């Protein structure tokens, strides 16, 4: 286990709240995360935001390869030191949201996994990036704020049900594995966290005609919470559908004009996006 305070002092690192730098210092939690990922030598692990490497070294000890994508140039020297004993770690000093994630493990013949104690300010965009990009992950283990874990697992009609719930549940199985107290970090965040596991599967994804359109529909539906689905879909620049076309589309799914996005199940979103895909002629790219 690396000594966080010692490393921060040695490299004179002032942690950035803006970059979500709350570093894990509890070895049991680190072990539980690596165990949850069931890491073995056949795995290529992508870690988003390795920080100074507390989780990275535990992953490297069991994985075939680890690609650690860290935005903050100031902490790279410390990360190089902590991971220096491993020849299977590649440090990539980049913004994950501007990284071609599919190319990272392109030459790897084994399985690919994603493990991250996510920087909280970009939790949703990072998760959506992996879900939307056809990234071939066998499983993803994310530490997120407790409330975000609730949103991921929420069902239609709940106040927490939103684009993230639909996106995650459409992609695969989602399970909240355990919660993590704020005491396990330096510095202590203002909220508690939870570790979730997403296991992508084809159950829903294979029935989506066009994945881009599916996610566009989901985003449009939740873009303004009080908006009816009819107005959200017909008002979206992504589709350029006339209101009457959108009305007919909803009617074909037995949905009335007043229905709102938060009432639709994952299956209904898929059915809706498939009709939009057919209507707008974008049926080729999945
Ligand atoms: N993995 C370490 C741990 O568990 O102790 C650090 C986790 S800390 C919550 C999040 C890390 O993500 C920070 O090191 C931060 O600099 C990094 N980060 C923030 N935004 C990022 C981005 N856009 N791309 C890559 N890394 C980012």
Looking at residue 152, which CATH number applies to its domain? Answer: 3.40.50.150
Whether 286 maps to a domain, the answer reads no
- Look at residues 166, 201, 236 and tell me which one is the last residue of a structural domain: 201
Residues 100 and 219 in one domain: no
- Show the domain range for 80: 4-201
Cα(232) to ligand 1 centroid in Å equals: 34
pLDDT at 285 over 70: no
Residue 263 lies in a domain: yes
Instruction: Give residue-wise pLDDT tens across range 26-62.
Output: 999 999 999 999 999 999 999 999 999 999 999 999 9
Out of 163, 181, 201, a domain closes at: 201
Question: What's the pTM value of the predicted model, to 2 decimals?
Answer: 0.94
Q: Is 116 a member of any domain?
A: yes
Domain boundary among 201, 236, 252: 201
Same domain for 216 and 190: no
**Hey, which of 24, 119, 180, 185 would you mutate to test ligand 1's pocket, going by the most ligand atoms within 8 Å of its Cβ?**
119
Domain count of the fold of the chain: 2
Give the pLDDT confidence score for residue 186 in this predicted structure. Answer: 96
CATH assignment at residue 219: 1.10.8.100
Q: Same structural domain for residues 86 and 43?
A: yes
Task: State residue 137's pLDDT score.
Answer: 95
3-state SS of the chain? CCCHHHHHHHCCCCCCCCCCCCEECCHHHHHHHHHHHCCCCCEEEEEECCCCCHHHHHHHCCCCEEEEECCCHHHHHHHHHHCCCCCCEEEECCCHHHCCHHHHCCCCCCEEEEEEECCHHHHHHHHHHHHHCCCCEEEEEEEEEHHHHHHHHCCCCCCCCCHHHHHHHHHEEEEEEEEECHHHEECCCCCCEEEEEEEECHHHHCCCCCHHHHHHHHHHHHHCCCCEHHHHHHCCCCCCCCHHHHHHHHHHCCCCCCCEHHHCCHHHHHHHHHHHHHHHCCCCCC
Closest ligand 1 atom number to CA of residue 4: 5
pLDDT class of 235 with cuts at 50, 70, 90: confident
């Amino acid at each position: 286990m690396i000594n966080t305070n010692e490393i921060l002092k040695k490299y004179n690192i002032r942690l950035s709240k803006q970059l979500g730098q709350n570093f894990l210092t509890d070895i049991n939690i680190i072990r539980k995360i690596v165990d949850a990922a069931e890491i073995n030598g056949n795995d290529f692990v992508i870690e988003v935001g390795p920080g100074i490497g507390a989780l990275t070294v535990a992953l490297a000890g069991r994985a075939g390869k680890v690609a650690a994508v860290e935005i903050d140039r100031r902490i790279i020297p410390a990360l190089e030191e902590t991971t220096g004993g491993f020849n299977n770690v590649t440090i990539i000093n980049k913004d994950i949201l501007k990284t071609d994630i599919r190319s990272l493990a392109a030459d790897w013949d084994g399985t690919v996994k994603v493990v991250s104690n996510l920087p909280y300010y970009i939790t949703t965009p990072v998760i959506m990036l992996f879900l939307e990009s056809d990234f071939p992950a066998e499983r993803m283990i994310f530490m997120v704020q407790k409330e975000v874990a609730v949103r991921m697992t929420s069902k239609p009609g709940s106040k927490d049900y939103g684009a993230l719930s639909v996106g995650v549940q459409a992609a695969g199985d989602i399970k909240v594995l355990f919660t993590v107290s704020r005491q396990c970090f330096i510095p202590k965040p203002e909220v508690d966290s939870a570790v979730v596991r997403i296991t992508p599967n084809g159950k829903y994804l294979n029935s989506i005609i066009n994945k881009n359109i599916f996610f566009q529909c989901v985003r449009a539906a939740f873009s303004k919470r009080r908006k009816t689905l009819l107005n959200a879909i017909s008002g979206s620049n992504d589709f350029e559908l006339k209101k009457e076309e959108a009305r007919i589309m909803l009617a074909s799914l037995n949905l009335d004009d007043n229905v709102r996005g938060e009432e639709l199940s994952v299956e209904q979103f898929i059915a809706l996006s498939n009709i939009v895909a057919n209507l707008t002629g974008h049926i080729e790219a999945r």
